[in-house]
Amino acid sequence: MDRDRLKLAFLGHVDHGKSTLIGRLLYDTGSVPPDRMEQVRQASVEQGHDTELAYLVDHLREEREHSMTIDTAQLFFRAADRDVVVIDAPGHREFLKNMLTGASQAHAAVLLVDAAQGLAEQTQRHAFLLTLLGIRHCLVVINKMDLVGFAEARFLELCEEVGAFAAAIGLEPVAFVPISALHGDNVVNPSSRLPWYDGLTVLEAIDGIEAVQDTQRPFRFCVQDVYAFDGRRIAAGRVEAGTLDVGDPVLVLPDGATTTVLSIERFHSERGLAEAGESIGVTLPADRAVRRGQVLCDPAAAPAVASTLRVRLFWMGDEPLALGSRHRLRLATQDAACRVAAIRRRINSSTLDVLARDADRLATTEVGEVELELDQPVVAELPERCQALGRVVLETHDAVAGAGVLMEPPGMEESER
Amino acid sequence: MDDLDRLESQSVHVIREAYVRFRRLGVLWSVGKDSTTLLWLCRKAFLGHVPLPVIHIDTGYKFLEMYSFRDRLAREWGLNLVVASNEAARAAGVGPGKGSKLACCTALKTDALKVALRDLGLDAILLGIRRDEHGIRAKERYFSPRDSGFKWDYQNQPAELWDQYASRADEGRHLRIHPLLHMTELDVWRYVRREGLPINPLYFARNGKRYRSLGCVTCCQPVESVAANVDEIIEELRTSNVSERSGRAQDKEDAYTMQKLRALGYM
């Protein structure tokens, strides 16, 4: 009974119909209990509408009153072959923080485009942010086909336009699907109003998305904390890549010493080998100091330790990111103070225009290629090698204001070997 | 690792982050299946221990079976149990059936929680709420700030990505931390079965009915069911057409009671 669980984010410009599409998927697959449907019906009547499927997702009163998603929500439904966690994301420019929060948890994405309006500002920005988030699988859905008379020509025109933009940012859509979420055409049930289309429905396309496989990677374990509840010092954390067995040699970074894993600690579990994704405890020889922020790794394939990072950063702060400003950087369980040493390129994340080189600031919603100088060395590597060690957030006043990925392998520092 | 292992590991990661960021941390226990699972996940995180005060908000209207179950488990698991209650409100006659559900829940639950947090000096608490329980809870963050008035600023939540969570509570504010957010009702029951967790018998069918969701006796209706053990509950859920909280009166008062309650600091 081990069904695959796919986390799917729904992205796109405001009012292109994301919430309605999700509502339609839930409804047409029979995933909504009648009592919940009744609540939606009543709430819709109160707002003066026919039954709004979007209300299955837009639950806040303010969202219904303004017909607008404010924050991300997650819902669950059972497709034919797997369970799907649907992550709805707001399409309004003002709520990019919330869109990023939702989308960052997804394995794959559905990018929605209004057939009448075409590619819009947030459509492009969301697509670009997908590449930042490292989400490769993307399904493009052309919605509101009813507004363009279900015309094949318009569909093909948009496929080409979206396809070209996707190619420019390195995104590879797995399919393009024409639908009307409002009327239910081609979402779960094929439509007689699209006779020229012989491809998949949205539901079929979702079922066809391949689950991401964890490939064999060098071992990485990020220490979250050290416990001594029963007298022994146990390093608690999560295996971020690879596997670990008792007796394995490990390199402790950023310190640089090699040691051996004495035991793998768990509560109420008979498991032996620890694998990527597992939260465990680890004990090392008593003379080995352990603390939060350290990374235990495969000595034969270690990540870098660096005090300068070059990051592709999406800025969400209320104030612009200023050259020379200081922030808190968080990378896995590491915490370091940093200074913005350079903003090599400043990019509009919707049009992809390079606004400036060697800029003095980055405004909100822009993406920058930024050099950060850290007060202390951190363990880092490209996200393709280890996601957890390749992604950073930047905080201003204790709030996350920027999210970024490492652009190039961080420089090797002198460290004890 | 299977899907339950992954869900469990994610919860453990959240709990450990909470503990390292907020040493003045407590855990809320309603003695229901979700918060009991949460306590078990704490034992997973801390290798058998629950090094936190465990707070039970007692409205005085809970099922009798809950109390005996609570005390037994607290003994067996060595819990530091703190029972909190809004005595003043109860003495003043606040209760179900007198005024709105909104007012009663706020007084007997939310306000009791406020006092408990203050008396224990906590700046963060773990709760067992899940996204699939309610459309409003679907909007939650793992680490969700509350201001000094307990208000949830749902229109301005912090960005939360890549397992990086809010790290501080300013003076007077506290953090609500939700390690079970990503688990569904079915996930919880499957996990209960796998781990052999003790479960309040009220969840099992008696005379053709059982409780799917447990709150106060007065505001909780059982649903039609013959599922008399965990296996049967799981089978029933796979084919069920009724939502988990359909028997909860609080959700019926008006469409936005849960939103209003939560904005005032409810769970």
Residues B259, B134 contacting (CB under 8 angstroms):
no
Residues 209-248 of B with CB under 8 A from A: 240-243, 246
Q: Torsion angle, CA of B222/B228/B229/B235, rounded to 10 degrees? A: -80
Residues A73, A59 contacting (CB under 8 angstroms):
yes
Mutation target among A6, A7, A101, A233 for the B interface, most CBs of B within 10 A: A101
Phi, psi of B54 (to 5 degrees): -105, 115
DSSP B46: T
Say what the pTM is.
0.89
User: Is B162 close to A292, i.e. CB distance below 8 A?
Assistant: no
**pLDDT number for residue A411:** 65
pLDDT in tens, A162-172: 999 999 888 88
Q: Torsion angle, CA of B236/B242/B247/B248, rounded to 10 degrees? A: 120
pLDDT in tens, B142-176: 999 988 888 888 888 889 999 999 888 777 789 99
**pLDDT number for residue A210:** 78
Q: Which residues of B touch A399 (CB under 8 A)?
A: 158-159, 166
pLDDT in tens, B90-134: 888 888 877 788 888 888 888 999 999 999 999 999 999 998 888
Question: How far is A26 from A20, CA to CA, in rounded Å?
Answer: 10
The yes-or-no verdict on residue A414 having pLDDT over 50 is no
Residues B119, B18 contacting (CB under 8 angstroms):
no
Sign of the CA dihedral running A177, A165, A320, A311: positive
pLDDT in tens, A112-142: 999 999 999 989 999 999 988 888 789 999 9
Interface confidence, given as ipTM, is: 0.91
Q: Which residues of B touch A57 (CB under 8 A)?
A: 135
**pLDDT number for residue A413:** 47
pLDDT in tens, A336-382: 999 999 999 999 998 889 999 999 999 999 999 999 999 999 999 99
**pLDDT number for residue B172:** 78
**pLDDT number for residue B242:** 67
- Mean pLDDT (chain A) is 89
pLDDT in tens, B226-246: 999 999 999 998 877 667 776
- pLDDT over 70, % of chain A: 95
Residue B254 — pLDDT band, cuts 50, 70, 90?
low
**Closest listed residue to residue A115, CA positions, set A204, A21, A199:** A21
pLDDT in tens, B73-89: 999 999 999 999 988 88
Provide the token pair at A98. 């919330």
**pLDDT number for residue A214:** 55
pLDDT in tens, A52-99: 888 877 776 677 777 777 777 778 877 777 888 888 888 777 788 888
| Residues constituting chain A | 417
DSSP B201: G
HEC sequence for chain A: CCCEEEEEEEEECCCCCHHHHHHHHHHHCCCCCHHHHHHHHHHHHHCCCCCCHHHHCCCCHHHHHCCCCCCCEEEEEECCCEEEEEEECCCCHHHHHHHHHHHCCCCEEEEEEECCCCCCHHHHHHHHHHHHHCCCEEEEEEECHHHHCCCHHHHHHHHHHHHHHHHHHCCEEEEEEECECCCCECCCECCCCCCCCCCCCHHHHHHHCCCCCCCCCCCEEEEEEEECCCCCCEEEEEEEECEECCCCEEEEECCCEEEECCEEECCCCCCCCEECCCEEEEECCCCCCCCCCCEEECCCCCCEEEEEEEEEEEECCCCCEECCCEEEEEECCEEEEEEEEEEEEEEECCCCCEEEEEECEECCCEEEEEEEEEEEEEEECCCCCCHHHCEEEEEECCEEEEEEEECCCCCCCCCCC
Look at residue B164 and give its three-state secondary structure: strand
Closest residue in chain B to residue A96, using alpha carbons only: B159
Question: How far is A125 from A169, CA to CA, in rounded Å?
Answer: 11
pLDDT in tens, A305-320: 999 999 999 999 999 9
Closest residue in chain A to residue B154, using alpha carbons only: A71
The yes-or-no verdict on residue B41 having pLDDT over 80 is yes
Which residues have C-beta within 8 Å of that of residue A269, sequence separation ≥ 6? none
Mean pLDDT calculated for residue range B183-187? 93
